[in-house]
Amino acid sequence: MLKTTKDKKGWLLPYLVSLDLMFYKRWDYWLNICSKNMIPEEPIPYIEFHPIHEYPKKEVQKNLKDCLKEAAYQLSHPLHSFVDWILWGFNYGKEFPVGVTEKIDDYWYRTFNLGLFYREPADHWPDLAMDVMGKNNPLGFFATPGAVVEMMVKMQFGGEPSHEHKNKSVLDPCCGTGGMLLFASNYSLNLFGQDISLLLTKIAMINAFIYMPWMVSKPKHLSIFDVQISEKEFPSGIKIPVCNNCEQEKQSFYMDLQTDYQCEVSNTGHFTLATPTISSDLIKRKLKPENISCSECSNQKEEYA
């Protein structure tokens, strides 16, 4: 009798949480944070990721290839469908993958082994994705080797994981299958990724469900990553908490330089120059704290003038 998961969206989640509880306890760690809305002193459960070639048995690779081989002659895009099928099991996706027959569904249900990902923690998908994209690889996806990624993450964070790292925002703008985010997950709970390829972002999401629950489950009430900005700090070291005219904190400030130019600063601390020819060195030298006023007061001055 064929097994079908078409009417069982989310069927993999109980297995996912149970396996994680046996190995890393990251889902338990994250769900406790969500319930208390507080980052604990306890370190993020550490996962020692390795490049896939360091696993001699390569059990995950064999399992994934077995799953794809069965569907290769029945589906036009087997990897795309397989990825969508796994995400369906993780309760993600509006519809069951198009083209996946009961026979394929049954085979994947009996063959796919989620537990192997916990025995061989790694990003197991890049080679499969590059094979699908072909030799030309129009999207330019070439995965960075795991050892290089690990070194880059350590250099960025400056050493071993600490409590201060946990709320640091980490964005990989070309995340691919999420390899760099895996290593960053040992440091930060505030991870983001994006990519031009929908397939790659879906694969990264699978990695997130397995290894980085804080990337795929963020309740709306969560405020642990909110930042309250009470003052503006600039490269010159000048701190600007309030407008000199109305003595109110504002979203943006205008700073009159000794030239005729103006510089607007947003509440995120980024400079927007009205005239792009002004160098940052000039800004550092010419900023005058006594000339700072908010946009509202500045507009009033212009009206009276």
The domain boundary, picked from 190, 215, 240, lies at 215
> Are residues 28 and 141 part of one domain?
yes
> Are residues 282 and 139 part of one domain?
no
Whole-number pLDDT of residue 268 = 39
Q: Looking at the 3D structure of the chain, how many domains does it have?
A: 2
> Are residues 270 and 196 part of one domain?
no
> Are residues 246 and 190 part of one domain?
no
- φ/ψ of residue 171, rounded to 5: -120, 125
> Are residues 160 and 102 part of one domain?
yes
Whole-number pLDDT of residue 225 = 84
223 in a structural domain: no
In this predicted model, which residue has the larger pLDDT, 137 or 107?
107
**Residue range 208-226: mean pLDDT, rounded:** 90
Q: pLDDT per residue over 60-93, tens digit each?
A: 999 999 999 988 888 888 999 999 999 999 999 9
**Residue range 258-283: mean pLDDT, rounded:** 41
Structural domain containing residue 284: 232-304
80 in a structural domain: yes
Which of 24-38, 173-187, 191-205, 287-301 comes out lowest in average pLDDT?
Answer: 287-301
Q: How long, in residues, is the chain?
A: 305
The domain boundary, picked from 148, 180, 215, lies at 215
Q: pLDDT per residue over 220-260, tens digit each?
A: 888 888 754 444 444 555 454 456 666 665 444 444 333 33
140 in a structural domain: yes
106 in a structural domain: yes
> Are residues 240 and 194 part of one domain?
no
**Residue range 270-274: mean pLDDT, rounded:** 38
47 in a structural domain: yes
pTM over 0.85: no
Which of 98-102, 148-152, 202-206, 223-227 comes out lowest in average pLDDT?
Answer: 223-227
User: pLDDT grade, residue 135 (50/70/90)?
Assistant: low
> Are residues 158 and 77 part of one domain?
yes
> Are residues 197 and 85 part of one domain?
yes
> Are residues 195 and 170 part of one domain?
yes
Task: Look at residue 269 and tell me whether its pLDDT is greater than 80.
Answer: no
> Are residues 241 and 210 part of one domain?
no
User: pLDDT grade, residue 131 (50/70/90)?
Assistant: confident
> Are residues 210 and 157 part of one domain?
yes
Whole-number pLDDT of residue 267 = 41
Q: pLDDT per residue over 1-12, tens digit each?
A: 678 899 999 999
202 in a structural domain: yes
3 in a structural domain: no
> Are residues 289 and 191 part of one domain?
no
Whole-number pLDDT of residue 266 = 41
Residues in CB range of 139: below 8 A, 6 or more apart: 133, 196, 197, 200
Averaged pLDDT of the chain: 80
Q: pLDDT per residue over 171-199, tens digit each?
A: 998 899 999 999 999 999 999 999 888 89
User: pLDDT grade, residue 293 (50/70/90)?
Assistant: low
Whole-number pLDDT of residue 241 = 45
